[in-house]
Structure 1
Amino acid sequence: MVERNKETIQATKTSFEIVHTLQEIGPARLSEIAAELELAESTTHRHLQTLHDMRYVSRDGERYQIGLRFARLGRAAQTRDPAYEMTQRHVEALAEETGERAQFVVEDHGLGIYLHVETGSQAVRVGFGVGRQIHLHSSSAGKAILAHYPRERVDDILDQWGLPAHAANTITDREELYEELETVRERGVAFNREEHVDGLNGTAVPVKRDGRAIGALAVAGPSHRLTGEWLDEEIPDMMLAAANELELNVTYASDASSRDHIVE
């Protein structure tokens, strides 16, 4: 489970909790935000006023909402690694080819983060948008990433976040997960068979640089549609081809960047 740092600065933590609350509940009045966080309205007002002055919160009448200044920060995070930006066209192509939802997921602080998401013509919208955080053990993308991490790193993540059950088929036993990750390493493909959301299947492949997984390409859709050879072979073949091309581009870009920095 998550450990609380004893050196946490409470004022900073409170400000971010207010931001997260606005993200979850949308535009809200001061009294609603204070009640949601069980804070005094005077304390909530001071934080909101500071965030407003810094343009991270906007105000429309009596309602506060997330400021658009966060859009720039989000874009900066999304493109902090050139490899992340390269994945976007592959995600778009997979969504078009499969008709389902495709995404590129990375690990951050032991959680999976959706960096790019595209919906195909048949895709079911289940609320997994850019920036969404998920537990790694219950998704195909997460397992594709964990399978290529050292055991010590996997243990650290499981110690921090546990193995919560999200659906009927979620793996909640650590030894069972280790066995699953070994299988993923051997076949190079991970599957999620109604492990994160009941009625939803998925498959994913890692994207590697210098042998290390920097993220995973994934496709997800209704279990009645993503099944059989379509799930087990055809979609994985598409993703493996995309990952191979992407890895070549990422490696070439890294090598070119290194050469550019050589002093003659």
Structure 2
Amino acid sequence: MTDDYPVKATHTSVRVLRAVMEAHGVGVSELARRLDLSKSAVHKHLRTLTSLGLLAREGDDYYLGLGFLEFAAAARERFPVYGVALPAVERLAEVSGCVATLVVYESGRGVVVAQTCGDDALAPPVSEGDAVPLHATAGGKTILAYRPAEEVDRVVDDGLDAVTENTITDGDRLRRELRSIRDRRVAFDREESATGWQSVASPVTDSRQRAVAAVSVSGPTDRMSGKTLEEDITGLVVSTAKSIENDLL
């Protein structure tokens, strides 16, 4: 038990849920091995979570249950930008032919709440529900550029982990880039969060000019580079973000 997780049983249940999610279906013995817990303890958590509809059992394996959909839908609907932005994100994916994403800011992190793939798009490195590193992604940097300085300081103080060899890990360099992003309302991710992928993002801000979300388009480097990235896709992303912002305000 720690200060971060004062209720040990709840922490363990969440560990079980995450392990089941990552395994895409797993049995008691394998789950106990992965979590370094006894089979009897794991079985109790599995039974409880299954009774609550958060897990589903098929044969000897457990999977995430559809009961999570109720929570996920309610969590997303809490953010007005989601309902406003969804049609625009879908159009952006259709027009660009790439992956269009809406990242929402919550409690110091960016979370992918909507994502649509264009007809020719490859599977992206992140999916709906994923939390993205604010310092390493176009959407995350866009959000940081439009948040108070103390929030940027907190991100820097927590450590700028190198996700790839191109990730910005120096605080001063990050702050300089954030100032440039704020001037242009555009941020780029040049293989900083996933090797072989690049993206461009623009912010959705509130009446105080603080970012509540970011809209981005991503694709493999052989498709997202040069004029396509710097001008064509960038123009689409900026206009889409501004349209969402206007509808929101």
2:147 equivalent in structure 1: 149
Give the unaligned 5+ runs of structure 1.
252-264
Cα distance in 1, alignment partners of residues 4 and 192 from structure 2: 34
Cα distance in 2, alignment partners of residues 33 and 158 from structure 1: 35
Write the mapping of 1:70-219 to structure 2, written as runs, cut at 5 A: 70-160=68-158, 162-210=159-207, 211-219=209-217
1:51 equivalent in structure 2: 49
- 3-state DSSP of counterpart to 1:137: coil
Normalising by the residue count of structure 1, what TM-score does the alignment of the two structures yield? 0.90
AA partner of residue 172 (structure 1): T
Classify 1:7/1:67 alpha carbon distance in 2 versus 1 (closer, same or farther; 3 Å). closer
Cα drift, residue 126 of structure 1: 3.0
Cα distance in 1, alignment partners of residues 156 and 39 from structure 2: 37
Give the unaligned 5+ runs of structure 2.
none
- 3-state DSSP of counterpart to 2:232: helix
2:67 equivalent in structure 1: 69
- 3-state DSSP of counterpart to 2:218: strand
AA partner of residue 137 (structure 2): S
Cα drift, residue 96 of structure 1: 0.9
Cα distance in 2, alignment partners of residues 27 and 226 from structure 1: 35
Cα distance in 1, alignment partners of residues 164 and 154 from structure 2: 23
8 Å contact from structure 2 (residues 124, 219) kept in 1: no
Classify 1:7/1:202 alpha carbon distance in 2 versus 1 (closer, same or farther; 3 Å). closer
1:107-139 deviation digits (Å, cap 9, x = unpaired): 234332111111112212134211012211110
Cα drift, residue 7 of structure 1: 5.4
AA partner of residue 206 (structure 1): P
2:239 equivalent in structure 1: 241
AA partner of residue 138 (structure 2): S
- 3-state DSSP of counterpart to 1:178: helix
Cα drift, residue 229 of structure 1: 2.1
Aligned residues: 247
8 Å contact from structure 2 (residues 99, 124) kept in 1: no
Mean Cα displacement is larger for which, 75-84 or 30-39?
75-84
AA partner of residue 146 (structure 2): H
Question: RMSD value over aligned CA atoms?
Answer: 1.4
Cα drift, residue 6 of structure 1: 4.7
8 Å contact from structure 2 (residues 55, 65) kept in 1: yes
- 3-state DSSP of counterpart to 1:73: helix
1:112-168 deviation digits (Å, cap 9, x = unpaired): 2111111112212134211012211110000000000111011223334x2111112
1:12 equivalent in structure 2: 10
Cα drift, residue 206 of structure 1: 0.3
8 Å contact from structure 2 (residues 200, 237) kept in 1: no
